[in-house]
Structure 1
Amino acid sequence: MRSPRERPAGARLARLLTEVFAPGVLVTTLPLVAAARVSRSPAQFLLWGGTALLCCAIIPVGVIVHGVRRGRLTDRHVGDHRQRARPLSIGLASVAVGLLPLAAAVGWSRVRLRDHTGPQVLAGAALGAPLAAATFLALT
């Protein structure tokens, strides 16, 4: 096996891109960038960024790291497709739990501003969640 210095430039670039744009890196940085963009105060940033980071990155990535350390997963990229069901299920559940407070806050704001009624918000959530899930599943 070649040492890292002996690898061709294309292989080094491929490794760099794989590591920089790995899901674990993206789910850690993107929620923080989004929270920084919309937050009006450091407290808001900590609340939204921290919640997003916990639910979208720390828990899902932690499940994968734990699985690798226990020998249940072959590697942090979960290269063996047969091993993906459990980490993906836990990750999706974690993200869903993180989104619930946001969805509730948006629903409340729609009713409070009289843009929608309570039943309209509930109907939108009841129709929107399965539609979003179906779209996600169809695209993956």
Structure 2
Amino acid sequence: MTADGVTVGADHRFARTVTEAFAPAVLAAAMVVGFALSSADSLRAGVLWALLTALFTAAVPYAIVRAGGRGFLPLGLASCLAGIGALAALGAPRPLTAVVVVLLTTGVVVTAVNRAWRLSAHAAVAAASAETLVIAFGQWMTPLFVVVALVAWSRVRLGDHSPAQVVTGAIAGVVLAPPVYVLVA
């Protein structure tokens, strides 16, 4: 039961858990850590690339959005852009830079669309992440699209988005990821 006396069922609690566990900042952090570790010359270099990249793509954007709400999303995107600049200047592995460009592009498109209609950033980032992993590591990553479906369900179940908003977000992520990743990687 919540503070306002409304009973919250197990499915609502599960939806909240899914939404938080696969939030855009969490997925961004997981993606950059995975790509940093898999594309670096050594474990030490991978850890350093992961820390640097997660700072720009997950930690700073998450802190900005939490502090100021959705209106501060462009500042979080600016942090990602600064991260791309740092990665380029420091000679980061191309697959790592490519995944950050995918995340930035997805964020920019979602932000632009959200000026007129509310697209699900959660679904877009989940789909872009899954699609990028399939492109980078092969078809055996395809089952990760179950996570995209769970994220979409959770956003609708929580009343944060309509089915059309999550489906459109997922489509945006799947459409954006391939050309961006392939061009940069």
Q: Which TM-score band applies after superposition, normalised by the shorter structure?
A: 0.5 to 0.7
CA distance in 2, matches of 1:97, 1:39: 20
Q: How does 1:41-80 map to 2 (within 5 A)?
A: 41-65=42-66, 67=67, 73=68, 78=69
Distance in 1, Cα, partners of 2:23 & 2:30: 11
- Which 5+ residue runs of structure 1 have no aligned equivalent? 68-72, 79-83, 110-131
Question: What is the RMSD of the two structures over their aligned residues, measured on CA atoms?
Answer: 3.1
- Which structure ranks higher in relative contact order (CA pairs < 8 Å, sequence separation ≥ 6)? 2
Q: How far, CA to CA, are the matches of 2:50 and 2:8 in structure 1?
A: 38
Q: Deviations over 1:13-44 (max 9, x none)?
A: 21221111112221222211111111221231
2:11 partner letter: G
Please say which structure displays the higher CA radius of gyration: 1
Q: Distance in 2 between matches of 1:96 and 1:2?
A: 39
- Identify the residue that residue 83 of structure 2 maps to in structure 1: 98
Matches within 5 A, 1:1-140: 1-2=1-2, 7-65=8-66, 67=67, 73=68, 78=69, 84-85=70-71, 87-104=72-89, 105=91, 136=109, 137=112, 139=172
CA distance in 1, matches of 2:2, 2:52: 42
Q: Which structure 2 segments of 5+ residues have no match?
A: 95-104, 114-171, 174-185
The answer on whether the counterparts of 2:33 and 2:54 sit within 8 Å (CA) in structure 1 is yes
Distance in 2 of aligned mates of 1:52 and 1:90: 16
**For residue 142 of structure 2, what is the aligned residue in structure 1?**
none
The offset of 1:101, in angstroms, is: 3.5
**Percentage of pairs with the same residue:** 30
Query: Deviation at 1:2?
Result: 4.8
How many residues get paired? 97
Q: In structure 2, what residue type is equivalent to 1:16? A: T
Cα deviations across residues 57-86 of structure 1 (Å, max 9, x unaligned)?
111112233x2xxxxx4xxxx4xxxxx23x
Amino acid at match of 2:16: R
- Rounded to whole Å, the distance in 1 between the matches of 2:54 and 2:2 is 37
- 1:95 Cα deviation after fit: 0.6
Determine the C-alpha separation between the residues in 2 that align with 1:2 and 1:90.
33
CA distance in structure 1 between the aligned counterparts of 2:57 and 2:2, rounded to whole angstroms: 36
TM-score, normalised with respect to structure 2: 0.43
Kept in 1: contact 2:65–2:76 (CA 8 A): no
For 1:126, the equivalent position in structure 2 comes to: none
Q: C-alpha distance in 1, partners of 2:2/2:81? A: 43
CA distance in 1, matches of 2:79, 2:29: 14
- Aligned-residue offset at 1:103: 3.7
